Amino acid sequence: MANTNIDSVKQRSYDAIVIGSGISGGWAAKELTEKGLKTLVLERGRDVKHIADYPTANKMPYEFEHRGEIPHATREANPILSRAGAWQEDTDHFFVKDNEHLYIQKKPFDWIRGYQVGGRSLLWARQTQRWSQYDFEGPARDGFAVDWPIRYEEIAPWYSHVESFAGISGNQDGLAELPDGEFLPPNPLNAVEDHFKGVLSERFEGRYLIAARFANLTKSTPTQLAQGRSQCLSRRLCKRGCPFGGYFSSNSSTLPWAEKTGNLTMRPHSVAHSVIYDEKQEKATGVRVIDSQTKEVIEYYAKIIFVNASTINTNLILLNSISSRFPNGLGNDNELMGKFVAFHNYNTKVRAQFEGLSEFATFGDRPGSTYIPRFRNIFRQETGFLRGYATAFSARRNMYSERSGIGTDLKENLLNPKLGGWSVGAQMMGETIPKESNYVSLDTEKTDSWGMPLLNIDIDFDENDRKMEIDSMEQLSEMLDAAGFTNIKTTQKRQAPGIDIHEMGGVRMGKDPKTSLLNKWNQLHACKNVFVTDGACMTSTSTQNPSLTYMAITARAANHAVEEMRKGNV
């Protein structure tokens, strides 16, 4: 009997456990297994195998019963999810429905989730801009949150490491505020984007239009071919899963790579309940899991644990990891865990038209668009708000079908598309300031289907965000006007936070254990064999789409973890 028990524990023991298989969990799995660690990846959702589990990837539009639209009753039943633009008939199977995992909205917060192997890496927008020194120095310079314990120089080699493997397209633009990297050829700009770029460089000092860096393979190098991934065909159907591996996801890249080492064990349907802390050894010894199908509680053991459950669920798991040493959650001596959550502000858009360059049009498609790096408050504070915003920008001139008339006129119109005019769209991507009052916490009474406490989410915009929104509309309008664009229209939305899908923080990195949860290697200050390297670790948000930074931080921390293990330090 005793032997059976020992065998059972042995069978459930690994060198490392990674909670979560999304964009950061996939990287943890890749790095740890490559270094020879027997690694268990816990995923709360079902398995999604690359290609085999992309049921809609090659479907024509008419093969969808509602031509892509989610039926009204389904939308009504999912008010949160229905605000996610990517939720359509072809991607329905990759999104969590509102009633599948409840949470309490102290204030409106649209928490968009993908519970499956690969998580939201299947669904992401794929923009991959590096942070700069000015981003890491931001909180210290401007006096908010806490100082980042790392600087750009420390993360730069890891950006290169993940860019080379994932395959990132981009140009060497030579901008200090948006450092260059290891890039595949950039997405081409079109005539109007080049025109706008020219006007900015001539008339707006410090403002640049560049090809946005994207995780789509504009060319496949031997590195990606070795992963079984080939060049992106610009189908723009990434969110269905790409049968060519044309964009980076855990499913197409890091997870199969980890599997090839023979060191990976993937366990889907495993809801992480808590990290197990051993008071005698003064370290974490494993993870308690609820099998989502059988509701059985199972414990897995490992020497090191990576928590990559996605920002909010990482907070949930750690807050739920209670012991007599840590009554408020693992490593939460300062009671700051769950607090200082921030996000990105996407509230404003500017649209316009362009009468010039009528000799050109756009033809075919590309997997990217263009980007204006942050130009406010970079080198010094110069506006009435803190920080700033980047801008996503694109111009197009496509064919369209006139819809006027009835009868043969209408049919003629529909079957004879005409060339439209140039139109452009710009969207702000603003940094928000982490605040103690923006937090997630465990509800003391209500629990979910797995017996886990429900999360309270209390997160909102503030005055700084509103000022930034107004500035973005003014500045973009001014820039477009100067470049000769007409019919400039601004919109200022009042969407809830969350829908930006860039929630960050709650388990922030910092230098001082009194004011932060993680050290510069993403180890919990108070429990060094637990690493948090997803969005939860973020001290501040900057303006860049965060995934590339999660990847780099994860790869860096995983390599450090292996070194520390070999030295016997964890």
Partner 1 sequence: MNRRQAIKRTVLLSGGMVFLKYSLLGQASRLSIPDGSTFGPSEERMLQLVVDTMIPSTDTPGAKELNVDQFVLLMVNDCHTKKDQIAFYSGLHSMDVFVEKGFGQSFALCDIDTRVDALNSMNKKSDTSPELQAFIQIAKNRTIQGYLESKYVMTEVLPHKMIPDPYDGYYPASKLEGEI
Instruction: Report the residue from 79, 198, 384, 417 that binds partner 1 according to the rule CB under 8 A.
Output: 417
Nearer to partner 1 (CB atom), residue 190 or residue 441: 190
Burial status of residue 138 (CB atoms within 10 A of its CB: 0-12, 13-18, 19 or more) = buried
Q: How far is the CB of 339 from partner 1 (least distance, A)?
A: 40
Distance CA 553, CA 307 (A): 13
Nearer to partner 1 (CB atom), residue 416 or residue 486: 416
Instruction: Report the residue from 172, 383, 399, 481 that binds partner 1 according to the rule CB under 8 A.
Output: 399
Nearer to partner 1 (CB atom), residue 71 or residue 198: 71
Judged by CB under 8 A, does residue 73 bind partner 1?
A: yes
Instruction: Report the residue from 8, 52, 66, 219 that binds partner 1 according to the rule CB under 8 A.
Output: 66
Interface with partner 1 by CB under 8 A: which range of 48-56, 322-330, 410-418, 542-550? 410-418
Q: How far is the CB of 191 from partner 1 (least distance, A)?
A: 5
DSSP per-residue letters across 54-86: -TTTT--GGGSTTTTPPPHHHHHH-TTGGG-TT
Judged by CB under 8 A, does residue 85 bind partner 1?
A: no
Distance CA 428, CA 347 (A): 7
Q: How far is the CB of 236 from partner 1 (least distance, A)?
A: 8
**DSSP H or E segment with residue 455:** strand 453-458
Q: How far is the CB of 73 from partner 1 (least distance, A)?
A: 8
Instruction: Report the residue from 65, 153, 296, 445 that binds partner 1 according to the rule CB under 8 A.
Output: 65
Quick one: how far is CA 107 from the chain centroid?
A: 22
Distance CA 245, CA 232 (A): 8
Nearer to partner 1 (CB atom), residue 91 or residue 539: 91
Distance CA 353, CA 397 (A): 10
Nearer to partner 1 (CB atom), residue 278 or residue 365: 365
Instruction: Report the residue from 49, 107, 219, 411 that binds partner 1 according to the rule CB under 8 A.
Output: 411
Task: Give the up-direction half-sphere exposure of residue 59: CA atoms within 13 A in the CB hemisphere.
Answer: 17
H-assigned helices in 204-280: 222-225, 255-260
Judged by CB under 8 A, does residue 99 bind partner 1?
A: no
Other C-beta atoms closer than 10 Å to the C-beta of 219 total 12
Judged by CB under 8 A, does residue 69 bind partner 1?
A: yes
Nearer to partner 1 (CB atom), residue 127 or residue 541: 127
Binding residues for partner 1, how many (CB under 8 A)? 48
Nearer to partner 1 (CB atom), residue 417 or residue 451: 417
Instruction: Report the residue from 205, 359, 382, 445 that binds partner 1 according to the rule CB under 8 A.
Output: 359
Quick one: how far is CA 410 from the chain centroid?
A: 44
> Alpha carbon of 304 to those of 88, 274, 433: distances in Å?
39, 14, 32
Q: How far is the CB of 392 from partner 1 (least distance, A)?
A: 17
Distance CA 144, CA 142 (A): 6
Judged by CB under 8 A, does residue 55 bind partner 1?
A: no
Nearer to partner 1 (CB atom), residue 170 or residue 510: 170
Q: What is the CA radius of gyration of the chain?
A: 24
**174: amino acid identity, one letter:** G
Tell which positions 171-210 bind partner 1, by CB under 8 A: 187-191, 193-194
Judged by CB under 8 A, does residue 77 bind partner 1?
A: no
Nearest to 395 by CA among 350, 429, 437, 435: 350
Distance CA 403, CA 55 (A): 33
Tell which positions 427-486 bind partner 1, by CB under 8 A: none
Task: Give the up-direction half-sphere exposure of residue 281: CA atoms within 13 A in the CB hemisphere.
Answer: 13
Instruction: Report the residue from 1, 363, 382, 445 that binds partner 1 according to the rule CB under 8 A.
Output: 363
Task: Give the up-direction half-sphere exposure of residue 139: CA atoms within 13 A in the CB hemisphere.
Answer: 24
Judged by CB under 8 A, does residue 222 bind partner 1?
A: no
Nearer to partner 1 (CB atom), residue 239 or residue 556: 239
Nearer to partner 1 (CB atom), residue 145 or residue 191: 191
Q: For residue 520, which phi and psi values (nearest 5 degrees)?
A: -70, -10
Nearer to partner 1 (CB atom), residue 252 or residue 539: 252
Distance CA 86, CA 90 (A): 9
Tell which positions 14-43 bind partner 1, by CB under 8 A: none
Nearer to partner 1 (CB atom), residue 61 or residue 222: 61
Torsion angle, alpha carbons of 20, 26, 31, 35, to 10: 70
Interface with partner 1 by CB under 8 A: which range of 37-45, 100-108, 229-237, 473-481? 229-237
Task: Give the up-direction half-sphere exposure of residue 552: CA atoms within 13 A in the CB hemisphere.
Answer: 25
Other C-beta atoms closer than 10 Å to the C-beta of 85 total 8
Nearest to 429 by CA among 306, 565, 545: 545
Interface with partner 1 by CB under 8 A: which range of 1-9, 12-20, 71-79, 248-256? 71-79
Instruction: Report the residue from 364, 382, 463, 568 that binds partner 1 according to the rule CB under 8 A.
Output: 364
Nearer to partner 1 (CB atom), residue 364 or residue 568: 364
Q: How far is the CB of 211 from partner 1 (least distance, A)?
A: 11
Residues that bind partner 1 (CB under 8 A): 58, 60-62, 65-67, 69-73, 187-191, 193-194, 233-237, 358-366, 397, 399, 401, 403, 406-408, 410-411, 414-419
